[in-house]
């Protein structure tokens, strides 16, 4: 499949509204969605084993989305075959007092994946050009050189942060990190349906927050903030994939397939042992065979 059609172009030729929120035709023939996803998870598991053994590259997978788009379930299902020893999921909530005392990239920077690891960010440093742009009053608590409690942020602040982010991602890529960025593109109508389901199903009540409904009032503001972020940070080194999210099974399958394809571009292979280590292995084998 041609996955390039899901990449947000940095030339301004497309808007966020040009990308689909629903896509049911990802499966071929009579293949069952669950079966295809299981096959993809198995491929991903095999590639992770080699990634871990080779210990040369790391992988950072970023998920951004509007509320109820399916970030948690996608991470759960797509990464179900991953060895926890080589994977870490970090969910970013409101920053702590310690984090507010640091530069805004710090809390994400300190949990980037080590060599051989897969790191998953459920939300990320991109919140600093998304929620802070929709709610600029948040900036007043970030102890910035400019007091944004009395001065409204202008466009230069966001351009500065886009540059910071691009430079940070370039630094990671230059040091062997593969960055895969997903925006799970859910429609406003589908989000409403999922919110109602969380309210009506007692077993899903815990997922619901009235704050989520309040944030729906800023839907268009968030769409604009996301579009600007994609326009300025969808780069050749770390492009943004805009994934249709109205149908969870197709969304999860597409995310899995893209991760597998991107991992294959690394040319992963199990490490080759030196002649000395090979000799040691053969000696160890002979010692085991000679035991009574």
Supply the pTM of this predicted model.
0.93
Average pLDDT rounded to a whole number, residues 277-286: 89
- How far is it, in rounded angstroms, from Cα 292 to Cα 288? 9
Q: What is the number of residues in the chain?
A: 292
- How far is it, in rounded angstroms, from Cα 183 to Cα 74? 12
The alpha carbon of residue 115 and the mean position of all alpha carbons in its chain are separated, in whole angstroms, by: 18
Query: Is residue 27 over pLDDT 80?
Result: no
Query: Is residue 153 over pLDDT 60?
Result: yes
**pLDDT at residue 64, as a whole number:** 98
**pLDDT at residue 25, as a whole number:** 60
Q: Which two tokens stand for residue 236?
A: 């050749």
Average pLDDT rounded to a whole number, residues 204-231: 91
Segment (H or E) for 61: strand 58-65
Strand 177-185 relative to strand 58-65, pairing: parallel
DSSP at 53: H
Q: Which two tokens stand for residue 87?
A: 């994977």
**pLDDT at residue 113, as a whole number:** 98
- How far is it, in rounded angstroms, from Cα 132 to Cα 138? 6
**How high does pLDDT run on average in the chain?**
93
> Between residues 271 and 208, which one has the greater pLDDT?
271
Among residues of the chain, what percentage have pLDDT more than 90? Answer: 82
**pLDDT at residue 24, as a whole number:** 65
Q: Between the CA of residue 270 and those of 60, 229, 258, 291, what are the distances in Å? A: 20, 37, 22, 30
Report the chain's C-alpha Rg in angstroms. 22
Average pLDDT rounded to a whole number, residues 244-264: 95
- CA torsion 185→191→193→199, rounded to 10°? 140
Average pLDDT rounded to a whole number, residues 247-255: 93
Domain extent at residue 282: 3-289
Q: Which two tokens stand for residue 96?
A: 């702590």
Average pLDDT rounded to a whole number, residues 89-100: 94
Among residues of the chain, what percentage have pLDDT more than 70? Answer: 97
Query: Sign of dihedral through CA atoms 134, 140, 142, 146?
Result: positive
pLDDT band at 31 (very low <50, low <70, confident <90, very high): low
CB-based contacts of 242, cutoff 8 Å, min separation 6: 6, 7, 8, 16, 19, 183, 185, 230
Q: At what angle do helices 248-264 and 71-78 cross, to 10 degrees?
A: 50
- How far is it, in rounded angstroms, from Cα 56 to Cα 225? 35
Q: Which two tokens stand for residue 210?
A: 């009235």
For the sheet with 58-65, list strands across it.
87-91, 118-122, 58-65, 177-185, 240-244
Q: What is the CATH number of the domain that holds 8?
A: 3.40.50.300
pLDDT band at 55 (very low <50, low <70, confident <90, very high): very high
pLDDT band at 47 (very low <50, low <70, confident <90, very high): very high
Q: Which two tokens stand for residue 225?
A: 């903030």
Average pLDDT rounded to a whole number, residues 54-77: 96
Average pLDDT rounded to a whole number, residues 31-49: 89
**pLDDT at residue 266, as a whole number:** 97
**pLDDT at residue 29, as a whole number:** 40
Q: At what angle do helices 248-264 and 33-54 cross, to 10 degrees?
A: 30
**pLDDT at residue 30, as a whole number:** 38
How many domains, the chain? 1
Q: Which two tokens stand for residue 142?
A: 């970030």
**pLDDT at residue 33, as a whole number:** 76
pLDDT tens digits, one per residue of 182-209 = 999 999 999 999 999 999 888 778 777 8
Q: What is the DSSP string of 228-287?
A: HHHHHH--SSSPEEEEE-SSHHHHHHHHHHHHHHHHHTT---PPPPPHHHHHHHHHHHHH
- Please provide residue 288's backbone torsions phi and psi, each rounded to the nearest 5 degrees: -65, -40
């Amino acid at each position: 499949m041609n996955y390039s059609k899901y990449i947000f172009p940095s030339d301004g030729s497309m808007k966020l509204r040009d990308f689909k929120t629903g896509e049911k035709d990802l499966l071929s023939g009579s293949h069952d969605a669950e079966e295809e996803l299981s096959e993809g998870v198995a491929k991903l598991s095999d590639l992770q084993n080699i990634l871990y053994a080779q210990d040369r590259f790391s992988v950072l997978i970023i998920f951004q989305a509007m509320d109820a788009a399916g970030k948690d379930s996608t991470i759960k299902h797509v990464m179900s075959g991953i060895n926890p020893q080589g994977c870490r999921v970090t969910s970013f909530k409101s920053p702590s007092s310690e984090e507010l005392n640091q530069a805004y990239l710090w809390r994400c920077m300190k949990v980037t994946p080590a060599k051989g690891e897969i790191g998953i960010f459920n939300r990320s440093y991109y919140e600093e050009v998304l929620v802070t742009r929709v709610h600029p009053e948040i900036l007043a608590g970030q102890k910035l050189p400019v007091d944004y409690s009395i001065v409204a942020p202008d466009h230069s602040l966001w351009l500065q942060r886009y540059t910071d982010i691009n430079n940070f991602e370039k630094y990671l890529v230059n040091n062997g990190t593969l960055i895969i960025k997903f925006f799970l593109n859910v429609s406003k109508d589908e989000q409403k349906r999922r919110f109602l389901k969380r309210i009506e199903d007692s077993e899903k009540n815990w997922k619901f927050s009235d704050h989520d409904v309040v944030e729906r009032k800023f839907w268009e503001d968030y769409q604009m903030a996301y579009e600007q972020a994609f326009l300025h940070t969808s780069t050749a080194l770390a492009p943004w994939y805009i994934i249709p999210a109205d149908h969870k099974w197709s969304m999860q399958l597409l995310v899995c397939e893209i991760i597998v394809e991107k991992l294959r571009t690394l040319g992963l292979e199990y490490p080759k042992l030196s002649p000395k280590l090979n000799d040691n292995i053969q000696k160890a084998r002979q010692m085991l065979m000679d035991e009574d």
